[in-house]
Chains A and B, each alone.
Chain A
Amino acid sequence: MQYEIEVAGRMRHVNVDRTGDTLAVTLDGRTWQVDAARIDAQTLSLVVDNVWRKSYDVVATSDAATAQLTVHVGETPVAVAMNGRRHKGRKDGAASVSGPQRVVAPMPGKVVRVLVQAGDTVRARQPLVVVEAMKMENELRAGRDGTVADIHAQEGASVEAGALLVVIQ
């Protein structure tokens, strides 16, 4: 399986190949033997053979609102964007696996500013809408690159938690 994963602004090409019980993971040309054991739905224990056998406790969670994946490696949360294309040895150029990205209001508030319009191309982390809640302004950002398909947010409107604001294809 091949993946394109963005970490800290850089795209990494990662290939995961199963050989018996270990995974051979190739990242940007280097290969490691990775022993992966699942602890629970979000938690993995990785022992990476790279001279020393380093043990990493990894918890992966995704934010439903922004499709932002956070991978905690030990105590450090790392923001990760999976651009979703999986290839089984062939490039099929298919559309993003995760489908349209729905940006919703994380809490009740008021839409203060809409920063994009339908048709705009957006990059990951680009601010889309500003919602005021708990007396502070929250910038809601795109979880990944895409095109703004629909804008449901209206400047000045009050919104409930979970209200759909922007859809990105």
Chain B
Amino acid sequence: MDISPVAVYSECDRTAMHVRLADEAYPIGPSAPRDSYLRIDRIVDAARKAGADGVHPGYGFLAENAAFAAAVRDAGLIFIGPAPHAIETMGSKTEARVAAERAGVPVVPGTKDPIAAGVPDADIAAVADRIGYPVLVKAVAGGGGKGMRTVVDRADLSSAVRAARSEASAAFGDAAIYLERRLTRPRHIEVQLLGDAHGLVLPFVERECSIQRRHQKVVEETPSPAVSSSLRRAITSAAGAVARTVGYTNAGTIEFLLDEDGRFYFLEMNTRLQVEHPITEMVTGVDLVQWQIRIARGEPLTLDADALLAPRGHAIECRIYAEDPDNNFLPSPGRIAALRTPGGPGIRDDSGATAGLDVPIFYDPMISKLVAWAEDRPRALARMRRALGEYRVAGIKTTIPFFTWLLAQPEFVDADVHTTYLDEVLKARNGRPFVEPTAELQEIAAIAAAVQAALSPAPHNGAAHAGTAGQWKSQARTEGLRQN
């Protein structure tokens, strides 16, 4: 598109891939997000200095911040995303539910208005009784599973409300909560949308994101094995209707819960591009980010609406995180010593990681999005297994062994899942490690460690091996490279 990219970066991201690939790069502050990536002023400043035409907010950080969108616009720049009012409306979970109801779309039974701090416990209990247990207490300004509590028993309601308020206050600066019925074993189905400045809103084939660990998505796929073509028509029309109600433009995603009876309910809207957007690109051939830019420039959507709902093949994504699945998924920051990403037919790896890079501790420890496409779901799963087997990351722990295990689970293979499935099977494993080397691999590891030591004597061995160094040098054929 002949666009010259300008990177902004925090201190620890100086060597990040986006800085290396960009045409220009501007520092915006220390590593902590609140000192850099959440600094509207610094980002707008950098854009001005660079003489930029537009800003793409990505996802996370300020991507769903209406004030940021307004600041960019006020600075005379193009914000590659929806208008500030749309971000504001749909960013409030309670206002978004109102918009959905206005569009005639069913919402998860729950409260209409936020419940501010100070509302008496008895009033909240009455509302919960009306909604029906089990009840979810959620933060109005929330996201990412923060500020959420499940209440099964009436007796636990007030303490759950207190805990949710306190978490919401800390995470979002807003203690307002709302209540929602907790559906049993629902599936998370979401619809990607593009809206242009001329009022056209086009929905895409749905994505299923039911594999979540503590409300965080880990695997996404499209199309959903649980969605028939008639359900697809209904749910994508509903998504389009909600988006049109608020005059939505640019990329966004509407999330639904699908209950066991095949009924869907509006959950919330994300007014930005999502992490899992590549799987939609793989089955529709549409470049969503490119369209975001074209829409932001005022171009009309020229996509065939029917084609967007007729996926070609099946795509699945695994979010590869620098986390130790054998230690409660604790973040595993540190230096990536070696990296080999998979390739081959149908494999796409969206990543900023390279060997030698330090995975920062300040941000979400996602190192790549691994996507596999094939003509049908079984082949897509097989390709993903193959790709996971080829993925080499050394120096840090990753969730790759966890995904290898997950893709072999019968319920996952049969697509018999729901949003608490993963938490349940992880609990049932009771901490059993995902990495369990066989006896053969243990032996090879011991042999390899010994061979490694024999071929590359450690520098601090001092006099003990000065004599051997000369001996090894003369065996140059076995040494591909000289050591330091």
Instruction: Compute how far the CA of A138 lies from the CA of B329 in the bound complex, rounded to whole angstroms.
Output: 11
Instruction: Compute how far the CA of A62 lies from the CA of B374 in the bound complex, rounded to whole angstroms.
Output: 37
Instruction: Compute how far the CA of A98 lies from the CA of B397 in the bound complex, rounded to whole angstroms.
Output: 23
Q: CB distance A69 to B437 under 8 Å?
A: no
Q: Determine whether A156 belongs to the interface, using a CB cutoff of 8 Å to chain B.
A: no
A22 to B: closest C-beta gap in Å? 9
**Interface-forming stretch among B236-244, B266-274, B278-286, B472-480?**
B472-480
**Interface-forming stretch among A35-43, A110-118, A144-152?**
A35-43
- B interface residues, tally (CB under 8 Å): 50
Q: CB distance B441 to A61 under 8 Å?
A: no
Q: Chain A interface secondary structure, helix, strand, loop or mixed?
A: strand
Contacts of A53 in B (CB 8 A): none
Contacts of B106 in A (CB 8 A): none
Q: Determine whether B460 belongs to the interface, using a CB cutoff of 8 Å to chain A.
A: yes
Instruction: Compute how far the CA of A58 lies from the CA of B435 in the bound complex, rounded to whole angstroms.
Output: 16
Q: CB distance B448 to A56 under 8 Å?
A: yes
- A interface residues, tally (CB under 8 Å): 61
B444 CB contact (under 8 Å) in A42, A48, A69, A134: A48
Q: CB distance B333 to A106 under 8 Å?
A: yes
Q: Which of A39, A41, A57, A108 has its CB near the most chain B CB atoms (within 10 A)?
A: A41
Instruction: Compute how far the CA of A46 lies from the CA of B454 in the bound complex, rounded to whole angstroms.
Output: 14
Q: Determine whether B361 belongs to the interface, using a CB cutoff of 8 Å to chain A.
A: yes
Contacts of B451 in A (CB 8 A): 16, 23, 25, 34, 36, 44, 46
Q: Give residues of chain B (341-397) contacting chain A, Cβ–Cβ below 8 Å.
A: 361, 388-392, 394-395, 397
0/1 per residue, B11-43, Cβ < 8 Å to A?
A: 000000000000000000000000000000000
Q: CB distance A1 to B444 under 8 Å?
A: no
Q: Determine whether B469 belongs to the interface, using a CB cutoff of 8 Å to chain A.
A: no
A78 CB contact (under 8 Å) in B333, B445, B460, B483: B445
Instruction: Compute how far the CA of A59 lies from the CA of B338 in the bound complex, rounded to whole angstroms.
Output: 8
Contacts of B453 in A (CB 8 A): 1, 3, 82, 86
Q: CB distance B447 to A38 under 8 Å?
A: no
Q: CB distance A76 to B394 under 8 Å?
A: no
B337 CB contact (under 8 Å) in A3, A61, A75, A108: A61
B441 CB contact (under 8 Å) in A69, A73, A82, A86: A73
Contacts of B441 in A (CB 8 A): 73-74, 76, 78
B458 to A: closest C-beta gap in Å? 7
A1 closest partner in B (C-beta): B454
0/1 per residue, A77-90, Cβ < 8 Å to B?
A: 11010100010100
Instruction: Compute how far the CA of A134 lies from the CA of B365 in the bound complex, rounded to whole angstroms.
Output: 11
Q: Determine whether B455 belongs to the interface, using a CB cutoff of 8 Å to chain A.
A: yes
Q: CB distance A71 to B449 under 8 Å?
A: yes
Known: A7-B442, A71-B448. 13 other contacts (CB 8 A): A7-B437, A7-B446, A37-B478, A38-B478, A48-B447, A58-B444, A59-B392, A74-B441, A77-B401, A77-B435, A80-B445, A88-B468, A136-B330
Q: Which 4 A-B pairs have the closest CB atoms?
A: A78-B445, A14-B450, A38-B480, A61-B337
Which residues does A use to contact B, with CB under 8 Å? 1, 3, 5, 7-8, 10, 12, 14-16, 18, 21, 23, 25, 27, 32, 34, 36-44, 46, 48, 56-61, 63, 69-78, 80, 82, 86, 88, 94, 97-99, 106-108, 133-134, 136, 138, 161
Can you list 16 A-B pairs, Cβ within 8 angstroms, ordered by A? A3-B454, A7-B446, A14-B449, A16-B450, A16-B451, A21-B477, A23-B451, A37-B480, A63-B334, A71-B449, A71-B452, A76-B441, A82-B453, A88-B468, A133-B361, A134-B331
